[in-house]
Each structure stands twice: as C-alpha cells, then as structure tokens.
Amino acid sequence: MNPGGKGSYEYLRSAVMTAAPEQLHLMLIDGAIRFALRGKDALERKDYEAAFNAIERAQRIVLELHSGLKRDVNPDLVDQMASLYNFMYRRLVDANLQHETQGIDDAVRILRHHRETWTLLIDKIGRAQAEPAVGSSEPLTVQASG
C-alpha cells in the first residue's frame, strides 16, 4: 500500500469508528452508490472482472443495509424497506450476470432517493436534539434501521 493510501485508510477508519449510527447508515448508502456506479462504468468499458468486483461490493452493502433492519421498531415500514433492498439486490445481481447497466440504474435511483430521505431525517434529528421539546429531558435518538 502506498503512503497516501495508508493515510486515507486511517482517516476512513477513524470516521467509521467515531460516526453515529445514522451517519454509518449514510456511509453505507454512499458506498453502495459509489460501487454500483464503478460497476456500471466498468460494464460500459467491457471490463467484466472490474464490473463484477464493484457490483458485488454494492450487493454486499445492500445486504448489510437489509440486515440492519429492525422489524420490531416499525413492522410495516421495515417490510417496505426490506422489499426495496431485495429489489435493489436482485437488480444488481441481474446487472452482474447479464452485463447490462439498466439494473444498476434502477438500484442507484432508489439508493439516491434513500440517501436524500436519510439526509433529511438526520437533519431533522439534529435540529430536534439542538432544541429539545419543552418538558422533555430525553434526547431524540434514531436506530439505523433503513
């Protein structure tokens, strides 16, 4: 590993180790988008090995997002999120097997919408924690459940 690579790794490691759960979820979404787009680029270049590796990383991240769902928190919402994660995973697998980019586009479109929604949620939680409700001594928390 080159010296610049080691510094980047240490920075990323530090960011992950100190991040709040909702920030970790956002990092996973960003990673899934990044690797899916790398895979799409590799498919367009017909570099199937690079495409496979990148798309497979995006698939693993989507699986990780799915495994973080906590059904006991809100079963209806979690079931909807699970369906979206399953759809994205299947589309990424299809893209990888068939060497086609449409599945990646479908997954990335949902991931970007999810990222936008998640960012709004983080902002709302941040504002609520900065200005706690009158009479409430409990801080507002969120579980990274998708």
CATH number of the domain that 74 lies in? 1.20.120.340
Range of the domain at 102: 20-121
Residue 3 has what pLDDT? 52
* Residue that the structure tokens 């995973």 belong to: 89
Could you read off the pLDDT of 100-129 as tens digits, one per residue?
A: 999 999 999 999 999 999 999 889 988 888
pLDDT bracket for residue 130 (50, 70, 90):
confident
CB-side exposure of 72: number of CA atoms within 13 Å? 1
Q: Which residues contact 81 (CB under 8 A, 6 or more apart)?
A: 69, 145, 146
How many domains does the chain fold into? 1
Residue 101: inside a domain, yes or no?
A: yes
CB burial of 67-106 (b: ≥16 within 10 Å; e: otherwise) equals ebbeeeeeeeebeebeebbeebbebbbebbeeeebebbeb
Two tokens at 72?
A: 């006991």
Could you read off the pLDDT of 18-71 as tens digits, one per residue?
A: 668 888 999 999 999 999 999 999 999 999 999 999 999 999 999 999 999 998
Closest by Cα among 119, 96, 85 to 36: 96
Residue 126: inside a domain, yes or no?
A: no
Residue 106: inside a domain, yes or no?
A: yes
Residue 145: inside a domain, yes or no?
A: no
Residue 83 has what pLDDT? 97
Residue 38: inside a domain, yes or no?
A: yes
Other beta carbons less than 10 A from residue 22's beta carbon = 19
Question: Does residue 141 come out as left (phi exceeding 0), alpha (psi in the -120 to 50 range) or beta?
Answer: beta
Residue 133: inside a domain, yes or no?
A: no
pLDDT bracket for residue 1 (50, 70, 90):
very low
Stated pTM of the model? 0.78
Angle between helices 75-98 and 21-44 (to 10 degrees): 20
Residue 5: inside a domain, yes or no?
A: no
Residue 2 has what pLDDT? 52
Residue 132: inside a domain, yes or no?
A: no
